[in-house]
Amino acid sequence: MIVNEQLGTLRERFRWFATEARERSELYHHLSATLADRPEVMEVLAAAHPNQQRPNLLFAAVHDVLLSGADDPLAEYYPSVGGTRPVGADTTERFAAFVRRFADPIDQRIRTRATQTNEPGRAAGLRPALASVAGSDRPLALVELGCSAGLLLHLDRYRYRFGDVEVGPAGAQVHIEPQLRGARPEQLEIGRVAARTGIDRAPLSPTAPDDARWLQACVWPEDLPRMRRLADALDIAAAHMDVHQVRGDLIDHLAPTVRAAPADALVCVLHSAALAYLGGQDRTAVERQLDELGTERDLARVGLEGGGFDPFLTLEADLPDPAMGAERFVLGATTWQDGYREDRLLARMQPHGAWLDWLGEAGPVQRSTTG
Ligand SMILES: C[S@@+](CC[C@H](N)C(=O)[O-])C[C@H]1O[C@@H](n2cnc3c(N)ncnc32)[C@H](O)[C@@H]1O
């Protein structure tokens, strides 16, 4: 049973999500705006973990039931399952009827799943960032915090085009081609990836059909190119299976994982759309651990985040804003040397890699001591 206060919060979240979805999904925009006045639908989210009581979890749960083959008229509105019907006056009614009809499988997903989109398109920023901090001379040990299914740990197996330059294996199944808004990244080559480790409190398996389908369900149903690219990235991951996934909280596993990396490798800690899920104290704890690890071995960090990512968001605040809109991530890199750390803002990027505003060496820098 949901209490009034929770309902008020949910209503606000649905209204906010309607604004968020306006540009990219007419279906979710419409549903989110209208469901804000349908408590009997929103309240199915009461079964979710408190920080997951959000519209995108409900939408992903419904999408997942549809992707699993549910035969229902709601499918007519979902391009991901062949639907072609435009959003109309009865779409919300159909959605509400679907939520009633498939109450059990939706509830099961809402209780057990979290929205943990794994977006290979984010490699559009991570790849040149890695090249700029790590170079190509040494083997790399990649450690990803909040890796989901670990798809970004295969970033060296994707093909990229940055303007007129291409890099990555010819014939790779996944192609990443961000629209360049800033400079073209100069350095693109990276060293051999000697180890790939991902930490996640709920890692997904690229070979488990339910997990792979859940990842697809987290993509918005009109975005067929993203769904295809995700399927290709899952194929690559399934063909290699050389990512070591560590289940648990990243705060607990960061230091032991970095310390266990091959001694001759340069450890590069990656994170994207992950730190935003941490509270302020935990984010500080991550930075302290990195500072300590940076005194023990050669270390670099590349992070791509939309919120809670300092000092990079502070560095970004001083840059001109050429009408990028609110929907952007910042890409930052940190290196540690002789008791100093250097944080450089490398780029701004659309959260799924559609465009990249690369600053590289021209990006603002903050230097500090770690001792
Ligand atoms: C939005 S997903 C991003 C996945 C991937 N980094 C990407 O950009 O495609 C965030 C992931 O972080 C994980 N996560 C969030 N907080 C965590 C924590 N404290 N410890 C471990 N994993 C966490 C979630 O389980 C989820 O898989």
- In this structure, the answer to whether residues 14 and 46 fall within a common structural domain is yes
User: What gap in Å lies between CA 102 and CA 70, rounded to an integer?
Assistant: 9
User: What mean pLDDT comes out for the span 49-72?
Assistant: 96
As to burial, measured by CB atoms within 10 angstroms (0-12 exposed, 13-18 middle, 19+ buried), residue 170 is exposed
Question: What is the sign, positive or negative, of the torsion defined by CA atoms of 52, 56, 58, 64?
Answer: negative
Please check whether residue 56 is in contact with residue 21, taking contact to mean a CB–CB distance below 8 angstroms. Answer: no
How sure is the predictor about 139, in pLDDT bands with cuts at 50, 70 and 90?
Answer: very high
- Counting from 1 in the atom list of ligand 1, the atom nearest the Cα of 120 is 9
Q: Residues 183-229: pLDDT tens digits?
A: 999 999 999 999 999 999 999 999 999 999 999 999 999 999 999 99
- In this structure, the answer to whether residues 75 and 126 fall within a common structural domain is no
Q: Residues 348-369: pLDDT tens digits?
A: 999 999 999 999 999 999 999 9
104 CA to centre of ligand 1 in angstroms? 26
User: What mean pLDDT comes out for the span 235-244?
Assistant: 98
User: What gap in Å lies between CA 200 and CA 34, rounded to an integer?
Assistant: 34
User: What mean pLDDT comes out for the span 241-259?
Assistant: 98
Q: Whose CA is nearest to atom 20 of ligand 1?
A: 249
Please check whether residue 354 is in contact with residue 121, taking contact to mean a CB–CB distance below 8 angstroms. Answer: yes
pTM of the model: 0.96
Q: Per-residue pLDDT for 370 more than 90?
A: no
Q: Whose CA is nearest to atom 1 of ligand 1?
A: 116
User: What mean pLDDT comes out for the span 107-114?
Assistant: 97
148 C-beta closer than 6 A to ligand 1: yes
Question: Radius of gyration (Cα) for the chain, nearest Å?
Answer: 21
Q: Which of 112, 143, 177 represents a domain boundary (last residue)?
A: 112
272 C-beta closer than 6 A to ligand 1: yes
pLDDT for the residue numbered 302 = 98
- In this structure, the answer to whether residues 152 and 44 fall within a common structural domain is no
pLDDT for the residue numbered 160 = 98
156 C-beta closer than 6 A to ligand 1: no
Q: Which residues contact 219 (CB under 8 A, 6 or more apart)?
A: 80, 117, 226, 227, 230
Q: Which two tokens stand for residue 43?
A: 């309240």
- In this structure, the answer to whether residues 134 and 80 fall within a common structural domain is no
Q: How does the average pLDDT of the chain come out, rounded?
A: 95
338 CA to centre of ligand 1 in angstroms? 31
- In this structure, the answer to whether residues 104 and 125 fall within a common structural domain is no
Q: How many other CB atoms are there within 10 angstroms of residue 259's CB atom?
A: 11
Among candidates 208, 206, 227, which has minimal Cα distance to 60? 227
Residue 356's DSSP bridge partners are 180, 349
pLDDT for the residue numbered 1 = 64
Q: Which of 112, 136, 157 represents a domain boundary (last residue)?
A: 112
* Helix residue ranges, H only, the chain: 4-21, 26-35, 39-42, 55-67, 91-101, 103-112, 123-134, 209-217, 224-240, 250-259, 280-296, 312-317
- Is residue 341 classed as helix, strand or coil in its secondary structure? strand
Q: Which residues contact 49 (CB under 8 A, 6 or more apart)?
A: 114
How sure is the predictor about 317, in pLDDT bands with cuts at 50, 70 and 90?
Answer: confident
Please check whether residue 181 is in contact with residue 359, taking contact to mean a CB–CB distance below 8 angstroms. Answer: no
Question: What is the sign, positive or negative, of the torsion defined by CA atoms of 80, 84, 86, 88?
Answer: negative
- In this structure, the answer to whether residues 135 and 252 fall within a common structural domain is yes
User: What gap in Å lies between CA 250 and CA 144, rounded to an integer?
Assistant: 9
- In this structure, the answer to whether residues 132 and 90 fall within a common structural domain is no
- Is residue 174 classed as helix, strand or coil in its secondary structure? coil
pLDDT for the residue numbered 86 = 97
Please check whether residue 154 is in contact with residue 233, taking contact to mean a CB–CB distance below 8 angstroms. Answer: yes
Task: Give the Å distances, CA to CA, from 173 to 176, 214, 226, 252, 345.
Answer: 10, 21, 13, 35, 30
pLDDT for the residue numbered 324 = 62
148 CA to centre of ligand 1 in angstroms? 6
Q: Per-residue pLDDT for 247 more than 90?
A: yes
What's the domain range around 291? 120-369
User: What mean pLDDT comes out for the span 294-299?
Assistant: 94
User: What gap in Å lies between CA 298 and CA 267, rounded to an integer?
Assistant: 7
Q: How many domains does the chain have?
A: 2
Q: Which of 86, 112, 138 represents a domain boundary (last residue)?
A: 112
Q: Residues 266-290: pLDDT tens digits?
A: 999 999 999 988 999 999 999 999 9
Q: Per-residue pLDDT for 325 more than 80?
A: no
118 C-beta closer than 6 A to ligand 1: yes
Mark 41-53 as b/e (b = at least 16 C-beta within 10 Å).
Answer: bbebbebbeeebb
- In this structure, the answer to whether residues 39 and 154 fall within a common structural domain is no
pLDDT for the residue numbered 276 = 87
User: What mean pLDDT comes out for the span 66-82?
Assistant: 98
How sure is the predictor about 9, in pLDDT bands with cuts at 50, 70 and 90?
Answer: very high
Q: Per-residue pLDDT for 343 more than 80?
A: yes
Q: Whose CA is nearest to atom 23 of ligand 1?
A: 146
pLDDT for the residue numbered 320 = 80
Q: Residues 143-187: pLDDT tens digits?
A: 999 999 999 999 999 999 999 999 999 999 999 999 999 899 999
- In this structure, the answer to whether residues 144 and 264 fall within a common structural domain is yes
- In this structure, the answer to whether residues 244 and 304 fall within a common structural domain is yes
User: What mean pLDDT comes out for the span 48-73?
Assistant: 96
Q: Whose CA is nearest to atom 14 of ligand 1?
A: 146
How sure is the predictor about 371, in pLDDT bands with cuts at 50, 70 and 90?
Answer: low
- In this structure, the answer to whether residues 62 and 147 fall within a common structural domain is no
- In this structure, the answer to whether residues 194 and 296 fall within a common structural domain is yes
How sure is the predictor about 23, in pLDDT bands with cuts at 50, 70 and 90?
Answer: confident
Q: Per-residue pLDDT for 114 more than 70?
A: yes
How sure is the predictor about 322, in pLDDT bands with cuts at 50, 70 and 90?
Answer: low
Q: Per-residue pLDDT for 326 more than 70?
A: no
